[in-house]
Structure 1
């Protein structure tokens, strides 16, 4: 591993790398004591995105990534498809996980201006600028809206809300990143997340969640929806159920080549 935690993948294994090149696609997940939620889903999303750019095959790379995940501590690795000159390379950046947070405040950034919302990483610089603007405005993350004013997602999260005992979210499609945590929560509830187009005013009286691989579930405490003590308690209960889904990818350390996530 290089000093900056970045390694480049060649056909026969790893080599040291640096941060040069243009990042086109990324994916990332939380590793907590060697365990990951939905690793196979992250791998599938990354592979599908890479295929759009005629990038190198990802199967051996992602299995090697799984083998490289630390068995101790909290980490937030990022896999990347990077353009360097006329070639594309696969790269792993092993990063310590930032401290977890339990709530999030959203800042309305207006209509979504991403070029390719379904591909994680393609609009990385744009989303980073939006997050910086949100922090400058006293929030944590930018809220993205459709041209019609409907809630889409956060700059680094999927947005979900409760209608009674039904978990709802924006309709999936070309304008929405396929959220891994959203899909896992749908499985936990026993039914898919109900698709609903809603503007911020229509969510004023309901509990809203911002969910992602790093933090899991965070109730929205400002900028969208409502926030009450019972909403935080509900989120904490579901967070425990979500965390119980974590497993060791491929179980390679125990000699089992199957994907246990």
Structure 2
């Protein structure tokens, strides 16, 4: 299912998005009509719309369009993409009328198997914005997969662990849940977990990994996913902190769409 402003998406509009690649989005998992952190997803859309287009987004309109795509029962993944179909490569400054594209796909069964990730020195453009420009992230993911891993973990220019291409990362050192202190997109799932479980934020480097007992990836589609390996460093996927955090996250009551 794909609708632009509540109507079937046209080829010309899709072509503009594909060729200019200028816009932003949020992805949310809907379980039985409820979304964890719905307000945070909407806040993200409003904030990023101001940054990229300089206009305010009508969240009630967004909700109405999401409701059209949500099935009455079961789990699904909704992506809301905001872009201006009139965007021109020569004059992107004229893109001031963003439209709302809503797409729906089946949600996978959770929890997912543990990840094996390879580090890559990379920083996304304007990391605080959830941009549709995913070239660098996908290239790093492709490289990691060709090297036998599942995904890439981004390390910034100062050697600090920042984030995955489409997920945040957290660690457990035996005493504390630690979220890396580096420029990244602060995900909704990460923010929700920070509300329900004590933690600290601090710099984490590859050299710190031997002192970590567990690590995990988070985003709205996967919830919390254990990380089994980072480069040559192996981590426990059965550590009790993984199940504790997963239960705490699953215990958050979602907001009705």
1:205-224 counterparts in 2 under 5 A? 205-206=211-212, 207-223=214-230
Alignment length (residue pairs): 236
Partner of 1:154: 164
Kindly state the Cα deviation for residue 229 of structure 1 after the two structures are TM-superposed.
Answer: 5.3
Q: Distance in 2 between matches of 1:242 and 1:49?
A: 25
Aligned-CA RMSD value: 2.1
Distance in 1 (alpha carbons) for counterparts of 2:229 and 2:237: 14
Are 2:109 and 1:103 equivalent residues in the alignment?
Answer: no
Query: Partners of 1:29 and 1:155 in 2: how far apart?
Result: 16
Residue in 1 that maps onto 2:76:
75
Question: In structure 2, which of residues 204, 208, 214 is the aligned counterpart of residue 202 of structure 1?
Answer: 208
Counterparts in 2 of 1:93 and 1:235: CA distance versus 1, 3 Å:
same
Q: Residues 222-233 of structure 1 correspond to what in structure 2 (within 5 A)? A: 222-223=229-230, 226-228=234-236, 230-231=238-239, 233=240
CA distance in 2 between partners of 1:237 and 1:71 (Å): 30
Matching of residue 16 in structure 1 with residue 8 in structure 2:
yes
Taking the aligned partners of 1:83 and 1:163, their CA distance within structure 2 comes to 45
SS of aligned partner of 2:64? helix
Cα deviations by residue, 1:48-81 (Å, 9 ceiling, x for unpaired): 0011122462313322144232232221110011
2:245 matches 1:238: yes
Unaligned stretches of 5+ residues in structure 2: 88-94
Tell me which residue corresponds to 1:37.
36
- Kindly indicate whether the alpha-carbon contact (under 8 Å) linking 1:144 and 1:153 is maintained by their aligned counterparts in 2: yes
Judge conservation of contact 1:28–1:78 (CA < 8 Å) in 2: yes
Aligned partners of 1:186 and 1:96: how far apart in 2? Answer: 27
- What TM-score results when the alignment is normalised by the length of structure 1? 0.82
2:162 and 2:237 map into 1 onto residues whose CA distance is: 25
TM-score computed with the length of structure 2 as normaliser? 0.83
For 1:230 and 1:93, locate their aligned partners in 2 and report how far apart those are by CA, in whole Å.
Answer: 35
- Aligned in 2, Cα 1:158/1:229: closer, same or farther, shift over 3 Å? closer
More moved, 82-91 vs 24-33: 82-91
Task: Find the residue that maps to 1:187 and give its secondary structure.
Answer: helix
The unaligned stretches of length 5 or more in structure 1 are 251-261
* Alignment check: 8 A CA contact 1:117 1:123 kept: no
SS in 2 for 1:203: helix
CA deviation vs aligned residue, 1:92-116 (integer Å, no higher than 9, x gap)? 1111124441311111122x23211
Using the TM superposition, name which of 32-41 and 91-100 deviates more: 91-100
The Cα shift of 1:147 comes to 0.5
CA–CA distance in structure 1, aligned partners of residues 60 and 127 of structure 2: 27
Secondary structure at the aligned position of 2:24 is classed as strand
Supply the distance in 1 between the matched residues of 2:8 and 2:4 (Cα, whole angstroms). Answer: 6
- For the residues of structure 2 that align with 1:17 and 1:55, how far apart are their CA atoms? 23
1:34 offset after TM fit, Å?
Answer: 1.9
SS at match of 1:160: strand
CA distance in 2, matches of 1:131, 1:48: 27
